[in-house]
Amino acid sequence: MAKVHLWSSLRRFADGQEVVEVEAATVGQALDALVKAHPGLEPAVKAGVSVAVDGEVIANNRAAAVAPDSEVYLLQRLKGG
Amino acid sequence: MAKDELKSGYKLIGTRPNRPDGLDKVTGRARYGADFSLPGMLHAAVVRSPHAHARIKNIDVSKALALDGVKAVVTRADLPTGLSGEDLNLQDNTLAGDRVLYDGHAVAAVAATSALLAKDAARLIAVEYEILPHVTDVDAAMAPGAPVIREGVADYSVPEGMHPNVARYMAFGHGDLEAGLAAADIVREHTYKTEATHQGYIEPHACVGQMGEDGRGEMWVCTQGHWYIRRMCAAVLGIEAANLRVTPSEIGGGFGGKTTIFIEPLALALSKKAGGRPVKLVMTRSEVLRATGPTASASMDVKLGMKRDGTITAGQVFFRMQGGAFVGMSPIGEALPCAFACYDIPALKHEAVEVIANRPKAAAYRAPGSPMAAFAVESLVDEMCRELGLDPIEVRLKNGAKNGSRSSYGPDYTVIGLQETLEAAKAHPNYKVPLGPNQGRGVASGFWFNHGGETSVSLAVGEDGTATVSIGTPDIGGSRASIGLMVAEFLGIPYENVRVSVVETGALGVNEPTHGSRATFASGKAAVEAARQAVAEMCRRAAADWGIDPDAVEWKDGAAHPAGPNAGKFPPMSIGEIGAKMGSTGGPISGHHEVTAEGVGASFGTHVVDVEVDPETGRTTVLRYLVVQDAGTAIHPAYVEGQYQGGAVQGIGWALNEEYVYGADGRLQNPVFLDYRVPVASDLPMIDTVIVEVPNPGHPYGVRGVGETGITPPLPAIAAAVAGATGARIRSLPLSPPKVLAAIKAAKG
């Protein structure tokens, strides 16, 4: 199961958990599984998030691969100048 | 593709050929946004609010329409309703609805047969306002009793009990903060403030729009991203994206400020109302400063724990940022993860709020959020180094992020080059120059994520063996030259035989703008993949001609070769020979690649600056300035150096002079370059640069974006140098002469 790390102000929408384990092969599946497990996270995910998968920042790609032992960090959607 | 596949004996990468747009730009032939003209074209002007916050009671356009030569007027009533989210924000900013939200907010626009007539007509549009209370300062906007600018802006993240102007809240961290602070020998805590600054691009926003009554249109525009222009205009005007074709002009600077729309829907709406005649709209400098995105202003609390040997044991920040009267525009989501990104600290806590205020809708500005965050954190690190008598580079080497260390925002770093930049700065002669009276030295490091994004590129082989490359990222900092070098390197042909063009929205799939330091990285990566496709096809054509298996053909030095003795003995077939007969060997040869590019390499830099402060006037002179930054691989080193120098100069301006000054009436007091003082060449010494190359494994040639990190360290580095020169620590920018003079006097008691 991939481990999805939530930033601390999101944890109140996930029963206080810092890490949520999900079955997912892609970033999109991981986000969908996260919302299914904790519907309170839907506004945050819908507002747009970036992720880091095993150290690699994925700004906006639901198809990016996630491995069973991946560490996934949610980040605010990143912009550039 | 692993970088090592290509990393061997580059022939072209790392050279400095002339820029392909250079001749056009120095001879005036380059066409910028305002240079487009069409037969029957009208000119437009915009009516803007003189108030920071007011209700619009009535707009009377009758006198303007009665003027001979006036062809159309648009107000919000001419735009579709029913939008939501960011689309509504864009529409609200394009033309005010029932309220104006900042000084300069657009209220109406008029098109006439000349620019002068359009301005006269704009003056005849009578707007009746009911003035409302306003607030422009970030701390004042969330203080008890502050006027509520818009109801219901808070999203899911805002805890109960905060002021209604607070729109977003974010928090994250790791480790035991209290234990970390308890382990420190000294704990210090201060508040730092930065003012809003403008991107300051030399070319004002300009466009020509044409739209018929059938809703089909075209636009020629100065922009960082023409697919964004297409999508945003379509949303604001309620048309289909495919009905709008957008062609970008050359661009005289953007720095993030040209990744969105301001005037573009107005030109299209006016054109439609004027029977399809094209409409040109060019902003004045005053309009640019009053009504296009500056960056956010910030108020930031920082707390750090440090041992006497310089080990940082814990860090905490609380940032408050305003990005104007619209939600989602302040860069708290970027500023927080950048705050401690240069460090490996066991315990961290980050919090931030976004606050709305009666200011223009902020836009991205070069490493959005990172310069402010660096000013706060790097300044306090410097203060503590001075208190403990520690060398600021040694402290950063001791605590700095390395390969594999956990980033402050969670994930582990892969391959990064911060330590290399610190070592190079330490070894540079500038760091050893003795300082004289009233002189001080500042050091700071900075970080930016970099970005990949949606990218589509095509390449076509010419009949003479040249190659044309079509990209969708406007060339701001030399990406055409850099992409041309990469393609020429891959194909094994001269750089001069590759022409790279930025093409319109109908010619490629969707491309994100040139933002996030992505153009050379992402369009370059896609161009190499497109070239790889073309090479595979050329090898196939040669194999067919020779009657051998395509796998028995290899490509080198611009030609197909039989691969090994078993493939047969054939003379190499050059790209020119293959191109000359491609019509009879299967048709045109091209390559195409589209991708949401990943594999960006994080970017780090370290700056060292020496200043001298005049104790009589408080004026700061920059004596010498050094930028050291990791480029991954410098494809065209002159452009890389240019990005380093440009970023440093913008950061110096932010540190020393630039600020939005609002009066008690909420009006911007300095909307011209005479009063909004950007640094010019005569203000500064040559900016010294050192390019560190720690190749990025996520790019075929090891490229990291280089455009943004350079603006980040100057703010704290300059403040540290001024503190060293004067003994006075100033925790709010800019360090204008009156402020420095007052601080010197206060320090002397």
Domain assignment present for A81: no
Which of A5, A47, A81 is opposite residue B368, by nearest beta carbon?
Answer: A81
Chain-chain contact of B256 with A9 (C-beta, under 8 angstroms): no
Quote the CA–CA distance of B514 and B512 in Å, as a whole number: 7
The average pLDDT across B719-748 equals: 97
Q: Strand B312-322 to strand B348-355: parallel, antiparallel, or no bridges (unpaired)?
A: parallel
Domain assignment present for A30: yes
Whether residue B631 sits in one domain with residue B617: yes
Tokens of B135: 């607030």
Quote the CA–CA distance of B372 and B379 in Å, as a whole number: 11
Q: Which of B122, B137, B105 is nearest to B290 (CA)?
A: B105
Domain assignment present for B414: yes
Domain assignment present for B477: yes
Mark which of B540, B570, B597 sits at the end of a domain: B597
Question: Comparing A46-50, B45-49, B78-82, B217-221, which segment has the lowest mean pLDDT?
Answer: A46-50
Chain-chain contact of B515 with A81 (C-beta, under 8 angstroms): yes
The average pLDDT across B490-496 equals: 98
Whether residue B742 sits in one domain with residue B604: yes
Domain assignment present for A13: yes
What is the 3-state composition of chain B as percent helix, strand, coil, each rounded to the nearest 5?
Answer: 30, 25, 45
Chain-chain contact of B171 with A8 (C-beta, under 8 angstroms): yes
Domain assignment present for B630: yes
Quote the CA–CA distance of B275 and B743 in Å, as a whole number: 61
The average pLDDT across B446-453 equals: 95
Whether residue B570 is predicted with pLDDT greater than 50 in this model: the reply is yes
Sign of dihedral through CA atoms B356, B357, B363, B368?
negative
Report the domain count for chain A: 1
User: Domain containing B508 — which CATH number?
Assistant: 3.30.365.10
Tokens of B629: 């930054």
For the segment B685-709, what is each residue's pLDDT rounded down to a tens digit? 999 999 999 999 999 999 999 999 9
Chain-chain contact of A8 with B708 (C-beta, under 8 angstroms): no
Distance from CA of B552 to the nearest CA of A (A): 33
Distance from CA of B254 to the nearest CA of A (A): 8
- Per-chain mean pLDDT for chain B: 96
**Residue A55 with chain B: CB contacts under 8 Å:** 411-414
Q: Check residue B3 and give its pLDDT.
A: 42
- Per-chain mean pLDDT for chain A: 93
Chain-chain contact of A56 with B451 (C-beta, under 8 angstroms): no
**Residue B596 with chain A: CB contacts under 8 Å:** 60-61, 63
Q: Check residue B5 and give its pLDDT.
A: 43
CB within 8 Å of B288: residues ≥ 6 apart: B198, B204, B205
Distance from CA of B410 to the nearest CA of A (A): 6
The average pLDDT across B716-737 equals: 98
Which amino acid is located at B38 in the chain? L
**Residue A80 with chain B: CB contacts under 8 Å:** 256, 364, 367-368, 448-451, 515-518, 708
Among B156, B295, B402, most A C-beta atoms within 10 A, so best to mutate, is B156
Chain-chain contact of B598 with A60 (C-beta, under 8 angstroms): no
Chain-chain contact of B414 with A44 (C-beta, under 8 angstroms): no
Residue of A nearest to B333 (CA): A76
End-to-end CA distance of chain A: 36
Whether residue B457 sits in one domain with residue B575: yes
Whether residue B578 sits in one domain with residue B459: yes
Domain containing B731 equals 369-450+600-748
Whether residue B556 sits in one domain with residue B486: yes
Whether residue B702 sits in one domain with residue B625: yes
Domain assignment present for A71: yes
Q: Check residue B565 and give its pLDDT.
A: 77
User: Domain containing A43 — which CATH number?
Assistant: 3.10.20.30
Whether residue B577 sits in one domain with residue B466: yes
Q: How far is CA B461 from the centre of its chain?
A: 33
The average pLDDT across B104-108 equals: 98
- Tally of residues, chain A: 81
Q: What DSSP element (H or E) covers B506? A: none
Domain assignment present for B679: yes
Q: How far is CA B433 from the centre of its chain?
A: 33
Mark which of B548, B581, B597 sits at the end of a domain: B597
Whether residue B551 sits in one domain with residue B487: yes
The average pLDDT across B211-237 equals: 96
For the segment B511-535, what is each residue's pLDDT rounded down to a tens digit? 999 999 999 999 999 999 999 999 9
Mark which of B597, B625, B659 sits at the end of a domain: B597
Whether residue B734 has a cis bond before it, omega within 30° of 0: yes
Domain assignment present for A35: yes
**Residue B333 with chain A: CB contacts under 8 Å:** 75-79
Domain assignment present for B558: yes
Residue B686 φ/ψ region, left for φ over 0, alpha for ψ in the -120 to 50 degree band, beta for the rest: beta
Q: Which of B340, B320, B271, B389 is nearest to B139 (CA)?
A: B320
Per-residue confidence at B8, pLDDT binned at 50, 70, 90?
Answer: low
Domain assignment present for B242: no
Q: Percent of chain B having pLDDT more than 90?
A: 96
Distance from CA of A47 to the nearest CA of B (A): 10
DSSP string, B327-368: TT-S-HHHHHHHHTTTB--S-EEEEEEEE--SS------SST
Whether B421 and B605 have beta carbons less than 8 Å apart is answered as yes
Chain-chain contact of A80 with B364 (C-beta, under 8 angstroms): yes
The average pLDDT across B49-55 equals: 98
Whether residue B626 sits in one domain with residue B531: no
Domain containing A37 equals 2-76
Q: Which of B371, B370, B285 is nearest to B334 (CA)?
A: B370
Whether residue B617 sits in one domain with residue B741: yes
Whether residue B613 sits in one domain with residue B549: no
Residue of B nearest to A3 (CA): B411
Segment B639-642 long-range contacts (CB within 8 Å, at least 24 positions apart):
B639/B19, B639/B477, B639/B478, B639/B481, B639/B482, B640/B689, B640/B691, B640/B706, B641/B689, B641/B691, B642/B477, B642/B478
**Residue B410 with chain A: CB contacts under 8 Å:** 5, 7, 52, 73, 75
Whether residue B655 sits in one domain with residue B572: no
Among B86, B169, B172, B650, most A C-beta atoms within 10 A, so best to mutate, is B172
Report the domain count for chain B: 2
